Amino acid sequence: MNRIPVTSPASVAVFRRILTHGPLARVDISRDTGLSAAAVTKAVTPLLAAGFVIESPDPRATSTVGRPVSPLAVAPDRAHVIGIKVTADRTYGVRTDLGATVRARADEENAGSSVGAVLAAVVRVVDRLRAGAEDAVSGIGVALSGDVDRAGGQVRESALLGWQGVPFAQLVQEATGIPALLDNDVRALTTTELLFGAGRDAESFAVVTIGTGTGCGLYLNGRVVQGAFGVAGEIGHLPFAPTHLRCRCGRHGCVEAAASTAAMLSLVREGRAQPDLSIGDVFALAHAGDPVARGVFAQAGRVIGTALAAVVNLTGPELVVFAGENVTEYGLYEEHLRAAFAEYTFGAAGDCPIVLRPHTFEDWALGAAACVIEDIASGVAAGG
Q: Interface with Zn ion by CB under 5 A: which residues?
A: 237, 247, 249, 251, 254
Query: What is the C-alpha to C-alpha distance for residues 258 and 245, in angstroms, rounded to an integer?
Result: 7
- Cβ-based nearer residue to Zn ion, 119 or 210: 210
- 162: number of CA atoms within 13 Å, CB side? 9
- One-letter amino acid for residue 209 of the chain: T
- Shortest Å distance, C-beta 250 to Zn ion: 7
- Shortest Å distance, C-beta 236 to Zn ion: 6
- Shortest Å distance, C-beta 243 to Zn ion: 12
Residues 6+ apart with CB under 8 A from 51: 75, 78
DSSP state of 350: G
Interior angle at CA 19, CA 65 and CA 179, nearest 5: 160
- Cβ-based nearer residue to Zn ion, 251 or 287: 251
- Shortest Å distance, C-beta 247 to Zn ion: 3
- Shortest Å distance, C-beta 280 to Zn ion: 25
- Cβ-based nearer residue to Zn ion, 191 or 299: 299
Query: What is the C-alpha to C-alpha distance for residues 352 and 362, in angstroms, rounded to an integer?
Result: 28
**Contact (Cβ atoms closer than 8 angstroms) between residue 54 and residue 15:** no
Is 244 exposed, middle or buried, given 0-12, 13-18 or 19+ CB atoms closer than 10 A? Answer: exposed
- Cβ-based nearer residue to Zn ion, 91 or 260: 260
Is 219 in a helix, a strand, or coil?
strand
- Cβ-based nearer residue to Zn ion, 97 or 234: 234
- Cβ-based nearer residue to Zn ion, 213 or 379: 213
Query: What is the C-alpha to C-alpha distance for residues 76 and 138, in angstroms, rounded to an integer?
Result: 13
- Shortest Å distance, C-beta 113 to Zn ion: 19
